[in-house]
Amino acid sequence: MKTVLILLLSIFTMGTLTAQENFYDFVVKDITGDDFKLADLKGKKVMVVNTASKCGLTPQYEKLEALYKQYGNENFVIVGFPANNFMKQEPGTNEEIASFCSINYGVTFPMMSKISVKGKDMHPLYQWLTEKDKNGFEDSSISWNFQKYLIDEEGNLVKVVSPRTDPMDDEIIAWLEK
């Protein structure tokens, strides 16, 4: 009986240590390489977006920044994740990406270090975002640069938004204002 109890306790402990149950469980690296705890965003709505500097959708940075300036306060934040997964459209270093975003679009929302958003080297956060068994919402795949994931104030994935959808789309604005 004691052995069974120890075995069950071990299995339970292993499961809780490896599972990412919530968006807030993740710590990522910002564009300067410092830790960025997503737990610090508790109570805010969050838009996670994979970005690229040499994409036909790159001008979305302008609309993302406008959205952030209009709604970004204690209740909303955009978190950008540069990725080079689509036709090598984000070839730059973190420093080059930060400079590009600042000079060309005046980006002030948090930008993270470049990661992979698909494939065998997919970042664990994007595994959580794209796998229903991890996020509890739905399976999705990253179809292109500037795909948007909407996270509610409790850290739950609530919507996946197409890369081609304008960041100022009525559906996104309605979500922010409710």
DSSP string, 40-52: GGTTSEEEEEEE-
Give pLDDT tens digits along the chain (178 positions).
655 444 444 444 444 444 447 999 999 999 999 999 999 999 999 999 999 999 999 999 999 999 999 999 889 999 999 999 999 999 999 999 999 999 999 999 999 999 999 999 999 999 999 999 999 999 999 999 999 999 999 999 999 999 999 999 999 999 999 9
Q: Which residues contact 145 (CB under 8 A, 6 or more apart)?
A: 50, 51, 52, 55, 57, 58, 83, 86, 89, 90, 163
Q: What is the pLDDT of residue 3?
A: 53
Q: Which residues contact 139 (CB under 8 A, 6 or more apart)?
A: 130, 131, 132
pTM: 0.88
Catalogue all structural domains in the chain, each as residue range(s) with its CATH number.
Answer: 21-177 (3.40.30.10)
Q: What is the pLDDT of residue 1?
A: 60
Question: How many helices, marked H, and strands, marked E, lie in the chain?
Answer: 6, 6
Q: What is the pLDDT of residue 14?
A: 45
The token pair that represents 136 in the structure block = 């509890």
CA-based end-to-end distance of the chain: 53
Active site residues: 55
User: d(Cα 21, Cα 25) in Å, to the nearest integer?
Assistant: 7
One-letter identity of residue 159: K
Contact of 109 with 64, CB cutoff 8 Å: yes
Q: Where are the beta strands (DSSP E) in the chain?
A: 27-29, 35-37, 45-51, 76-82, 148-151, 157-161
